[in-house]
Amino acid sequence: MTRHTILLPGLALLVAASGCSPARGPRPVAGEIPVAAARRAALATTVTVRGVVTVPSGALDDGFAVQDRSGGVYVAAAKSPAHAPGEVVRVTGALVDDHGRLGLRPDSVRVTGRAALPAPRPVRTGAVGESTEGTLVRVRGRVVGGVVDDRPWGWKVTLDDGSGPLLVFVSAGTGIDAGGIRAGTRLEVDGFSGQYDDHHEVLPRSPADVRVLPE
């Protein structure tokens, strides 16, 4: 007989005698809610949101991103077929912290239609942060320092428009050739506003998201 088999019955009796019940996770939020409201819920809460796919499956990893008029969120490790930009999907899942980035671990994903993609919002490089996380943004700036080869995951490029440096992470799955980017080059980048551990970043989705600007 193990120690656990001796202690657990006594623990069950103690809980019953005290009138307490074992700890449970956050209660699910009933019905469909805006993405911004879902982002304010506690981690592990199950929520349902509807939005247009802005980052396709496979561009950054196995997940994808959705956005509505209120905000955006990443759907991590999606248990569904690949999703393409412009699809409108209804996602039910639990809120998770993925290396600092808020995401949804989906229980169900259902395509309900198609819609135009939201336009990337112009943001200063120093203003990318919690207020932009999950949405499409557009940043402009000059490349500071050299490109950091972080393969097999991708490349790291730092942009600064004078308001502060910003990491642009070019995922290997996007097909973007970042090897030719040089320090001092002026770039305009559209991408997903994300976070990894202690820093915020912008992640372009395809070669069309990275444009060299004239001097």
Structural domains in the chain, sorted by start: 35-114 (2.40.50.200), 121-212 (2.40.50.140)
Closest CA to 69 of 115, 31, 36, 104: 36
CB distance 53 to 83 below 8 Å: yes
What is the CB-side half-sphere exposure of residue 120 using CA atoms within 13 A? 23
| pLDDT computed for residue 59 by the predictor | 93
| pLDDT computed for residue 29 by the predictor | 86
Q: Alpha carbon of 144 to those of 39, 62, 137, 157, 176: distances in Å?
A: 32, 30, 20, 8, 19
User: CA-to-CA distance for 191 and 120, rounded, in angstroms?
Assistant: 7
| pLDDT computed for residue 108 by the predictor | 93
pLDDT tens for each residue of the chain, 215 residues long: 333 333 334 434 333 444 444 456 788 888 999 999 999 999 999 999 999 999 999 999 999 999 999 999 999 976 678 999 999 999 999 999 999 999 999 999 999 999 999 999 999 999 999 999 999 999 999 999 989 999 999 999 999 999 999 999 999 999 998 988 999 999 999 999 999 999 999 999 999 999 999 98
Phi/psi for 62 (5° steps) reads: -75, -15
Instruction: Dig out the tokens for 142 from the structure.
Output: 């000059």
| pLDDT computed for residue 96 by the predictor | 97
Tell how far CA 59 is from the center of its chain. Answer: 12
Q: Which residues contact 2 (CB under 8 A, 6 or more apart)?
A: none
CB distance 57 to 83 below 8 Å: yes
